Each structure stands twice: as structure tokens, then as C-alpha cells.
Chains A and B, each alone.
Chain A
Amino acid sequence: MMRHALKFISSLRLTVALLSLSLVLVFAGTIAQVEYGLWDTQVRFFRSLFVYWKPAGGEFAIPVLPGGYLLGWALLVNLLAAHYVRFKFAWSKLGIFLTHFGLIFLLLGQFFTEQMQVESSMRLEEGQSKNYSEAGRSTELVFIDHSNSEFDEVVAIPQSQLASGRELAPPKLPFQVKIEEFHLNSRLRQRAPMMSTNPPAATQGIGVQAELIPAARATAMDAINVPSAIISFKGDGAPTGTWLVSLNLDQPQTITVGGKSWDTALRFTRHYTPYSIGLLDFRHDKYMGTEKAKNFSSQVRLTNPTTGEDRETLIKMNQPLRYAGTTYFQASFEPGRDDITILQVVRNPAWLTPYISVIVIGLGLIVQFSMHLFKFVNRRKSS
């Protein structure tokens, strides 16, 4: 039984079938971007085990295609199993082994990149310095304790845990948080006292003045969702009523429990670093006589109290700053503001894997073809 199973998972037919399904998946994923947008399609088609389809009016989603994760893992298992079944080391096959090792490394590297890479952005005004970057497509519900004079303690609940009706008991907080409503995309409108027919978004805090209007999920490349939630608290001394938190609110709200206060807000997920980056000068050069961008560059100051570093550096297009495992790319700017830079911040511990893989695959191919070439030349000489 096991023998048959292993024969199947190591077969070349399975390899061909998996590669064919990969082609279908890429095609379907490309078409689906029209409806779902790039980011949603990536999650539905490629960062999933299966691609699901829900018939109109149906309650259950049906898996219709294997997703990217399933195909990737299946290809890897197929390759490993084939080696396991057929492995017999011989110097004459060194090139093939190297090439396959490179492929395995590439597949694993891509998977670890997918799992471990953190992309975020840093918006800096000239004169401003930050020790964190913000993820542009994920948010967190935070509770910040300012009571310590040295530091602020942040309890951050990721967006993936925010769902309508869910009750959470975050660590370090003496109260529970209930998510009464969660809307992935929404709009807020100031509630006009004599005009509004809609109820206020919440009974406490800023939500009393606002109306919460749920919106459809944003699918365009340059559009973002604006999540909002209505939350309430449970526990001894917890405040009563409901509170509105939203990415659209520019100030945190303060809640007090048992004489101690926390600021709460729904904000872009922050990634803190032990060093800070400050913007000294932003340059946005254009081709003469046009509005076409020629060059962007940010003169920044890097300050790291833990190492004593304090230096200036220039970040330009195609010339990022690599520091402490993080890369800062010159990404964008704000129209009409020549004093604001937007840096893309990428932390990817597996960033070297594609380079190593390609070198190993290339080396394997050179070895293999060279051996064939030498064999051929020797055969001709001897004949």
C-alpha cells in the first residue's frame, strides 16, 4: 500500500499534472484580478490550499482548484519523493543533483519568504523621525498604557482576530474586549445633530458624534480598506456602552478601568525597530519642462542608541538602505508636498534564498552540460 502511494507521489505524471494545474491557477488568478483586485486574488488563489467558489445564493463554498500552497507543497513532496525513490549517488549525475537541490531550495525559500517577509511603509515629513513602519494593508486594535514614565506598553490585537461577536481576553489587560461589529471597509461621517436619521455609531467616546457606514471591500490596486469596529468591554470596573474604533479616526480614545487608563485605537499595524530614521531632505527631480519624475531621493539620518550609530545616508530609487536585516526603498511621495517621503520597508530573512538557488541551479546545469560536452569530445577523439 505504502509502496504504491510512494510510487504515485514520486511519479513524473504527477509532476506534469501539478505543473499543468499551476498553469491553470495562474491563468484563473490573472482573470480573477478584475473582480477581486490584486491583493484579494493573491490570498484567494495563491496563499491558500484550495480556491473556493460559492454559487450565487448558496451557503457553502466549493473547492474548485488547488491553491498555490497546495500545488507548491505537492511539487516539493513530488520532487523529494522522486529523489528518495530513485536516489543513487553517482558523480556522473552531480549536475542533476545540484539542479534539483537548487529547485528544492528555491521552492522552500519562496515559501519561507511568503511566511516571514514583512512589508510596510514609512511616511516621513522633513524633520520627522520614526522608529516604526506601518503595514499598509493590515490593522491592529491597540491598547496603550502610558503609566510608565520610561516607555509605553502596547497590547496589539491583529485584524485577523477582529470578527463580529468575538470576545477577546488579551494578555496584560484587566478586562475583556467584545467585538460587537467589525466592518472590513467603512466610511465615517460626522453626525449632524439635526439632520441625521441614522443612529450614532456608538454610545461612548467619539462614536457618539459619528455615523458608521459599511462599504464594499476595496479591490482596486491603489485603494485600501478602512476597517472600523464597534467594541465593548467586560470585567470589573470596565466602562459601559459601546465605542467606535476606526482607521478613519485620527486620535486614540481613552478608556479608564479601575483608575488606570489606556488609549485605544484601530491603526495600521506597526513594526517597531530599536533604531530610528529621520528625514533631513526629500528631493523630487523632474525632467526639465515636464511633470515627469526623474528622480526621488531622501537624505535620512539613522540613529541607533543600542550601537551608538548616528549617521546620514541617501536613499534613492534603485539604491535602498539595507540595515539590520531591513531594506528601505524609495517608494513614493505625496503629490503637492515636496517635504514628504514614503519609504517602502521590507524585512525578509529569506531574501538570499533565490540568489543562492539560482547560483546552485546554474552551477548544476553547467556541470551537467560540461560533463556531456567532455564525454562527447573524448568520444570523438578516441574514435
Chain B
Amino acid sequence: MNPINSSRARLLVTTIGLVMVAVGCSDESVRVYQVPKEQAHAQQPPAATERPNAPTAHVHWDSLPANWKDRPVTGKMRAAEIGITGSGGQEAELVAIPLPELAGKELEFVNMWREQINLTPTTTAAIAELREPLTIAGNPGQLFDMVSDKPLTEGQPKQRILVAMATIEATTWFFKLTGADELVAQEKSNLKGFLAKVELHTAAHDDPHAGLASAPPTQSAPPAAPAPGLPKWTVPAGWTAATPGPMLLASFDLAGGGGKVTVSSLGGDGGGLLMNVNRWRGQIGLSPLTGDQLSGVTKEIDVASGKATLVDLSNNDRRMLILVVPHQGQSGFYKFLGDASAVGKEMDAFLQFAKSAQY
């Protein structure tokens, strides 16, 4: 063996060490670079008149209280949006939402809002006591005032929801004021005064009113069917993917147009099975059920994530199947609505489709 020269040995070890350090320290850093402009770049928000699916419903007002500020509308379903700031920096939000006539569904809505602030559901008998009459755009309406028992988030104030609603012609208008308990309570009288004077329009009109609140959103909504976030499923042959509407993850049309399948997802149990079943029954012209009648229209079936509930509703020649699939603290709703014959024919394919979903 050659004699080992210690200075050469040190040099060897030092060189190897330096190479290792130099190569090992290749942490990613911020890059700044110039690129040619993309031809397909289209960042400018379209004008209100160009916006596809823009809600034509809108709200006019003459003036707002000093601490109320009109904001661009951010939700597809919203007709107006107002931010309210309290003296202590607390914030609240008032939104106006027009929906097709929903008169008679007050209990379901009130319980839905109560659930949002962790209150127990109320009953038909008790709801009368919660109702306050008021005037909305010259029409009789009702106001519901709800406050959470405790803060929804630790360290934050309790939450209060005020909802005013009125059905005018074929539209039910909701005005929902949400925010810190104290601030919303203070603004209750302002809300009543504001609602008494507003003008409500369900369609575009020629009057270029100064207080038009339906400003176009500055951004598009999150993709309703984002490929990376969707569950993986096997779509049956003959189904055609359609553009999903608001709140929907996906939508499919049956070949021949006999029915439509939609998929949505909501947190928790999505408001409860009974409330949802009665809402779906209403959609095909059936009367509401009571809790003990629920078992007559539902049955449990096995899916990959556990037990799912199948709801089967029929009225005349219309049939609706809904499979409620709980997964990871949420509920997936697979809904199949169409002609009774088409739904019956495609029922197996529909169930296979829903069962194939992997979250």
C-alpha cells in the first residue's frame, strides 16, 4: 500500500465535501422571466351586457346608511351585495337573492339558516312566533331573526342572521343579513327602512337607474366541475356531459333527452334527509312527508364509502331518484330526474355510476 500523505488526504476530503455542499444546495428560488403574450389571454372582465348567464334580476335604492357600502356582486344567484362595517370594525353582509316562487317553504329555509348557526330546528307551530311582519318594496313580507347560542369560532362574537323574504309575483326575494351579533342587531332598523324603499326587478329594463347594484363580478366562479377535484367515476355509455349549473359538480344528459343526472356535494348531511326529501317532493309536485313516513320512500344500499340512501319519488309520469352518498364529512347527491320510463330503464346504470365514484 502507498504511504498516505496527510496533506493530500485533507485536500481530497475537502474537495469532495465542497462538491457535495455545492451540488446539494440547489434550493429552488424565485424566478423572474419574460414570455411572449398569450394570444388566448382574456383577463378583462366582460361588460355586464356581455356576461353570459348574468342575472337580470337587480335591486335599486336611492341611498344607503353611511356604514353600508354597495359591493360588486360575487355570486351567480345574487342580485345585490352590500358590506356593512360597525364602529368597532365588525363586519356584516347583506345579500339579495331572487328565487323562483318558494312560498310555503319558510320552515325549511328557517331551519336551514338555524343549522348554519348551530341552532336546533324549529317546528311549524313555533315558527309563527319567530316571524315578524315587514314591508319589502311595498309588499308584505316576513322577517326572521336568529342568533347563535355561542360563537361559531372561538374568540369571535356570536353570529346573527336576519332574513327578510317576500314573494312578489312568481319570485321569492330573500334579503339575508349575516354577521356579528351586536352589529346585525343594531342594523335591524336600518334593514327595515332600506327594504321598505327598495325597488326590485326580475328582468333587465331600460331605466338606467343610478343605484343599479348588479355589477359584473371581477372573476369567474370556481369551476363547477374542476377536473382535479372531482371524484373519479365511470360514466355510462350514452350519457353526455353537460355544463353543470351553480352548486353542481357535474351534469349529464341521457341519450334521447328522457332525463338528466346531476351531482352536487354539500357539507355534513346537507341540511338533513327529511328536509331534502320534502324539497325534492315539492319539485315534482308531491306533498311533504313526516319523519316516520320517510322509510317508505328511502332504502339503504352499499357503496364504496359505506351506506348510501336511495330516495325514489314518482308523480304521474315523472320519476326522481336521488342517491345520497356520505363521504369524508360531506354528502354527495346523485340526482336522476326524468320520464318515469326513461328513469326506470336507466336506473341500474345510474346506480352503477354513483357507486363507481371514488372520492
| Interface pairs (30), CB distance under 8 Å | A2-B6, A6-B4, A77-B16, A80-B16, A86-B2, A140-B31, A146-B37, A148-B34, A151-B35, A152-B37, A154-B32, A154-B35, A157-B30, A170-B30, A172-B32, A188-B226, A189-B222, A189-B265, A190-B247, A193-B176, A194-B174, A195-B112, A195-B116, A195-B270, A197-B267, A206-B220, A208-B74, A248-B222, A251-B219, A263-B43
Smallest beta-carbon distance B180→chain A, Å: 13
Among residues of A, the one whose C-beta sits closest to the C-beta of B3 is: A3
Among residues of B, the one whose C-beta sits closest to the C-beta of A272 is: B35
Q: Of residues 167 to 219 in B, which have CB atoms within 8 Å of A's CB atoms?
A: 174, 176, 218-219
Chain A residues near B47 (CB-CB < 8 A) = none
Q: Report which residue of B27, B153, B219 has the largest number of chain A beta carbons within 10 angstroms of its beta carbon.
A: B219
**Chain A CB within 8 A of B229 CB:** yes
Q: Of residues 4 to 24 in B, which have CB atoms within 8 Å of A's CB atoms?
A: 4, 6, 8-10, 12, 16, 20, 23-24
**Chain A CB within 8 A of B301 CB:** no
Chain A at the B interface: mostly helix, strand, loop or mixed?
mixed
Q: Of residues 84 to 141 in A, which have CB atoms within 8 Å of B's CB atoms?
A: 84-88, 111-112, 115, 131-132, 140
- Does A151 lie within 8 Å of B176, measured CB to CB? no
Choose among A80, A156, A198 the residue that contacts B31 (Cβ–Cβ < 8 A).
A156
**Chain B CB within 8 A of A217 CB:** no
**Chain A CB within 8 A of B345 CB:** no
- Does A153 lie within 8 Å of B32, measured CB to CB? yes
- Does B2 lie within 8 Å of A156, measured CB to CB? no
- Does A206 lie within 8 Å of B16, measured CB to CB? no
- Does A146 lie within 8 Å of B33, measured CB to CB? no
**Chain A CB within 8 A of B29 CB:** yes
Q: Inter-chain contact count A-B, CB under 8 Å?
A: 162
Smallest beta-carbon distance A349→chain B, Å: 14
Chain B residues near A151 (CB-CB < 8 A) = 34-37
The 6 closest A-B pairs by CB, nearest first: A158-B28, A206-B219, A151-B34, A156-B31, A248-B226, A2-B6
Chain B residues near A250 (CB-CB < 8 A) = 220, 223, 226
**Chain B CB within 8 A of A184 CB:** no
Smallest beta-carbon distance A199→chain B, Å: 8
Smallest beta-carbon distance A140→chain B, Å: 8
Q: Measuring CB to CB, which residues of chain B are less than 8 angstroms from any residue of chain A?
A: 1-2, 4, 6, 8-10, 12, 16, 20, 23-24, 26-38, 41, 43, 74-75, 77-78, 95, 97, 109, 112-113, 115-117, 152-153, 174, 176, 218-224, 226, 228-229, 246-247, 265-268, 270-271
Chain B residues near A115 (CB-CB < 8 A) = 23, 26
- Give A168 to B29 CA distance when docked, in angstroms: 11
Among residues of B, the one whose C-beta sits closest to the C-beta of A69 is: B24
**Chain B CB within 8 A of A192 CB:** yes
Among residues of B, the one whose C-beta sits closest to the C-beta of A2 is: B6
Among residues of B, the one whose C-beta sits closest to the C-beta of A132 is: B35
- Give A3 to B20 CA distance when docked, in angstroms: 22
**Chain B CB within 8 A of A254 CB:** yes
Smallest beta-carbon distance B257→chain A, Å: 20
Among residues of B, the one whose C-beta sits closest to the C-beta of A87 is: B2
A188 in contact with B2 given A155-B32, A158-B29, A226-B229 (CB within 8 Å): no
- Does A6 lie within 8 Å of B9, measured CB to CB? yes
**Chain B CB within 8 A of A247 CB:** yes
Smallest beta-carbon distance B77→chain A, Å: 6
**Chain B CB within 8 A of A321 CB:** no
Among residues of B, the one whose C-beta sits closest to the C-beta of A249 is: B222
Chain A residues near B153 (CB-CB < 8 A) = 199
**Chain B CB within 8 A of A356 CB:** no
- Does B229 lie within 8 Å of A187, measured CB to CB? yes
- Give A249 to B77 CA distance when docked, in angstroms: 19
**Chain B CB within 8 A of A32 CB:** no
Chain B residues near A73 (CB-CB < 8 A) = 20
- Does B35 lie within 8 Å of A206, measured CB to CB? no
Interface 1/0 per residue, A177-195 and B, CB below 8 Å: 0000000000111111111
Chain B residues near A150 (CB-CB < 8 A) = 37
Smallest beta-carbon distance A92→chain B, Å: 17
- Does B266 lie within 8 Å of A158, measured CB to CB? no
Chain A residues near B97 (CB-CB < 8 A) = 193-194
- Give A192 to B97 CA distance when docked, in angstroms: 11
Choose among A6, A81, A194 the residue that contacts B113 (Cβ–Cβ < 8 A).
A194
- Give A225 to B21 CA distance when docked, in angstroms: 31
